[in-house]
Amino acid sequence: RLQLRCFSNNPGSIRVAQKLGFKQEGLIRQGVLINVITDYYIFGLVKEDYERRYY
């Protein structure tokens, strides 16, 4: 399982995650990311989704 987080106001990072096959799993409201209180998305990619996409 891979997981990534990105600022909710960063459409470029969101697009990259989606193009790589990551699925949006949640939105953290007013969480701490890189020492900043902000909203951010959590994306995940599990083994089965990776294999389905790339094999």
The domain spans of the chain are: 2-54
52 three-state secondary structure: helix
Q: What are phi and psi of 40, to 5 degrees?
A: -145, 155
Domain 2-54 fold is Aminopeptidase (3.40.630)
Question: What pLDDT does residue 44 have?
Answer: 98
Question: What pLDDT does residue 55 have?
Answer: 87
Question: What pLDDT does residue 21 have?
Answer: 95
The sheet with strand 2-7 has its strands ordered as 2-7, 36-45, 23-33
Structure tokens at 20: 């790589």
Question: What pLDDT does residue 45 have?
Answer: 98
pLDDT in tens, the chain (55 residues): 999 999 999 999 999 999 999 999 999 999 999 999 999 999 999 999 999 988 8
C-beta of residue 23 within 8 angstroms of C-beta of residue 45? yes
Decide: pTM greater than 0.95.
no
